[in-house]
Amino acid sequence: MKSTYGRLMLDIDGISLSNEDKKLISNNHVGGLIFFSKNFESFQQISNLVKEVREIKENILIAVDQEGGRVQRLNNEFTNIPSMQEIARFAKEHNDSSICKDIGWLISSELIATGIDINFAPVLDIDESTSSIIGNRAFSDNPEEVISMASDYIDGMHQAGMSSTGKHFPGHGGVVEDSHKELPEDIRQLDDLMNFDMRPYIKLANKLDAIMCAHILFPNIHKSIPSFSEYWIKEIVRNKINYDGLIFSDDLTMLGAGGETCSEKARKSIQAGCDMVLVCNNRKEIEGVINVFDEMGVEPSERLSKMKKRTNIDWNELNNSDRKSNINIKLEKIRS
């Protein structure tokens, strides 16, 4: 029997499941759960939470944003990872082409050891200090450096047994505004993006397992943000870039996604061609999204099974491995 996954990813409030959480996870449309810092206390606790979720539903993708730097949801026993800009700077200064691959492998291995399937990484935005929300989350403000380092990082993810998600398509590095708080507008033309911000997606199209859309409006290209746009998803991503991997919306509760209800935004995202939509930190909206999916006849997706972790990793063996020890030596140099 083929594995299928519901097309809605949501979050929970606590470090264990409430009765309401259990009921929602059981719903046919829920195929993903994303963890935040609020859900984490320790390795053992997060591992137990994953098991608790899987006792309710085996066919569910468990995700997290574990980029390193400012965006690292799991800490304590987990390796403290510097920002990707710091990693990239070390790679260039020491002519170390292996560091990005090693970091991709280590982060993925630690997450897989807990049972987590997805790390929403790598960041493919082209930036150094322009964007208020990206900045040092990006590898570089040079597209070719981003392509090279992200490619190595993805190789490390794959080596560990984790799929990759490039974000934020078609590029968040060219705007100052934070799309969590407002809708940024980028007035560039499509050719400008194709020759700069979108180059990592073009060059890595055959390597990326998924991409996540940015909540940014490009008014000189199309009237809708990418998550809501058949033009962006079908014409640009599918036809022009010839990308056939999975497509996630970013969190539809972000203010950059507009002021409509999440149910309406979810409808537009699914109609535009997103494989899965994220609705986080707004439990009141979830019922409406589920009702809309029922009305639309949204079916669970077999395609999403590609994002399932492909290996099992023992936490203690990982911590005692020579490879992790060698990576930690490099990380100490970066932090110093």
Bridge partners (DSSP) listed for residue 159: none
Which tokens go with 274?
């997103």
Q: Quick one: tokens of 179?
A: 């799309």
Q: Is 250 a catalytic residue?
A: yes
**Measured between alpha carbons, how far is 272 from 169 in angstroms, rounded to an integer?**
15
User: Is the separation of the CB atoms in 250 and 227 below 8 Å?
Assistant: yes
Helices (H), 185-261: 190-194, 199-203, 230
- Annotation says 29 is catalytic: no
Contacts of 105 (CB under 8 A, 6+ apart): 156, 157, 159, 160, 323
Q: Where are the alpha helices (DSSP H) in the chain?
A: 19-26, 43-56, 84-93, 99-114, 143-160, 190-194, 199-203, 230, 262-272, 286-296, 315-319, 322-335
Q: Are 199 and 151 in contact (CB under 8 A)?
A: no
Residue type, 254: M
Q: Catalytic: which of 180, 192, 209, 222?
A: 180
Among residues 11, 21, 250, 275, the one annotated as catalytic is 250
Question: What is the widest separation between alpha-carbon atoms in the chain?
Answer: 56
Q: Tell me the helix, strand and coil percentages in the chain, rounded to 5.
A: 45, 15, 45
Q: Which residues are catalytic?
A: 180, 250
